[in-house]
Structure 1
Amino acid sequence: MNTLQMLLNKLPGPLRNRYFFALLCFFALMVFFDRHDVLTQIRLQRMVNKLEDDKAYYTKKIEEAKQERLDMDANKERFARERYYMKQQDEDVYIIVEE
C-alpha cells in the first residue's frame, strides 16, 4: 500500500467520507478565505460600534451647542462678559484660573 492510503486508513470513518471532506473544505473557504470572512466581519462590527459611539458623542455636542445658542440669545450681556471678558467702563474684571 502506498503511504497516502495508509494515512487514509488511520483516519476515523466519518473523516474518510469524501462528502465530509468537501464540506470541510467549503466551510474553511467560507470562514477564512471568502470576501465576507469571519475576521472581516469582526473588524466591520468594531468599526460600526465605533461609529455609533461617535454619532452619540456628536449628537450630545450638537444638543449642547443648541442649548448654548438659546442661552446666548436669551442673555447676550452675560455671554459677552463670560466669554470675551467684556466689561462696563466703571468696573474691573478679574480673571480667576482654576488649576
Structure 2
Amino acid sequence: MKLKNNKYLKPFKNIFLLISVVFVVWMLFFDANSWLIHHELNSEIEDLEDEKEYYRKEIEKDKADLKKLSTEEGMEKFAREEYYMKRENEEIFIIEYEDSLKTENDD
C-alpha cells in the first residue's frame, strides 16, 4: 500500500484546504473570540436580562406598596399587621395556628 496514492490522504495534500480547516478549528475553539466564549457570554446576557426583568417587577411592586403607605389608612393597616400596634382602650388577640408556628425542624 502506497502512501502517495492513498485516497484518504488526498484532501490533506491541498495546502489551502488544510489551512482553512486549521483556521476554522482555531476560530471555533481556541481564539479569544471563539464560539464557545460567545455562547457563554450569550447565556450570561440572557440570565442578566431575566434578572433585570425580575427587579423591574419588584420595583413596580414596591412602588405600589409605597403608594399604599402614603395614605393614613394604609399606614395604620401596615402598623397594625406588621408591628401589632393598637389604639388606646383596644385589645389585640393574635391567633396562631399550629401549622404556621416555626418548629426546630424548620430552617
Q: Kindly provide the CA deviation profile for residues 71-92 of structure 1, in whole angstroms up to 9, marking residues without a partner as x.
A: 0112221121122211012222
CA distance in 1, matches of 2:20, 2:78: 70
Q: Partner residue of 2:31?
A: 34
Equivalence for 1:64: 61
Identity %: 35
1:8–1:16 CA contact under 8 A, matched in 2: no
**Match of 2:40, as an amino acid?**
R
Match for residue 16 of structure 1 among 13, 19, 28:
13
| Structure 2 counterparts to residues 84-95 of structure 1, below 5 A | 84-95=83-94
Q: Give the partner amino acid of 1:20.
A: L
1:81 aligns with 80
Residues 8-58 of structure 1: CA deviation (Å, up to 9, x unaligned): 734254343211111000001101110011211111111111111110111
Larger proportion of helix: 1
Q: Secondary structure at the match of 2:3?
A: helix
Q: Greater shift after overlay, 73-82 or 57-66?
A: 73-82
* CA 1:32–1:8: 2 relative to 1, 3 Å: farther
How many pairs were matched up? 95
Asked if the contact 1:32–1:39 (Cα under 8 Å) also holds between the matched residues in 2, the reply is yes
Distance in 1, Cα, partners of 2:88 & 2:4: 98
In angstroms, what is the RMSD of aligned CA positions? Answer: 2.2
TM-score by length of 1: 0.81
In structure 1, stretches of 5+ residues that fail to align are: none
TM-score (norm 2): 0.76
CA distance in 1, matches of 2:5, 2:79: 85
Q: What SS class does the counterpart of residue 22 from structure 1 fall into?
A: helix
Could you say which residue in structure 1 is the equivalent of 2:105? Answer: none
